[in-house]
């Protein structure tokens, strides 16, 4: 059974860069699955951030496209998310997710809370 686990700093200052990783166990990031990131601000609905495929191809939400990068590290069996120039509006629980399609998600991590504050 595929298991995903997010990790990150918990707290980031405004204007800095956010870096999160998603460690995958029970399978390889090099298999034919899409690895996605989704976030949820406190008390609000979910927002799709983007995905990466084993080929390295990516697709991002236009609202975040200028600030986000999603990539794979096959040597560590991880997916990573980088978001530059963060603001308080980026405070959210960040989830990584995987599925055989890029557009819906069966496997989820438990989520990691990121707070943007000085």
Question: Scanning the structure block, which residue is given the tokens 């055989």?
Answer: 100
Q: CB burial class (10 A; 0-12, 13-18, 19+) of residue 118?
A: exposed
Q: Quick one: 38 or 116, whose CB is closer to other proteins?
A: 38
Q: Does 95 bind other proteins (CB under 8 A)?
A: yes
Question: Scanning the structure block, which residue is given the tokens 């557009």?
Answer: 103
Interface positions, 8-47, toward other proteins (CB under 8 A):
45-47
Question: Scanning the structure block, which residue is given the tokens 């989520």?
Answer: 111
Contacts to other proteins by CB under 8 A: 45-48, 59, 61-63, 95, 97, 103-106, 108-111
């Amino acid at each position: 059974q595929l298991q995903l686990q997010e990790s990150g700093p918990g707290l980031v200052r405004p204007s800095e860069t956010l870096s999160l990783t998603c460690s995958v166990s029970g399978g390889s990031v090099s298999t034919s699955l899409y690895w996605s990131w989704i976030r949820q601000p406190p008390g609000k609905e979910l927002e799709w951030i983007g995905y990466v495929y084993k080929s390295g191809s990516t697709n991002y939400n236009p609202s975040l496209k200028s600030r986000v990068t999603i990539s794979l590290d096959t040597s560590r069996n991880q997916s990573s998310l980088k978001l530059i120039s963060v603001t308080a509006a980026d405070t959210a629980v960040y989830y990584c997710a995987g599925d055989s399609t890029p557009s819906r998600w069966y496997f989820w991590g438990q989520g990691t809370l990121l707070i943007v504050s000085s």
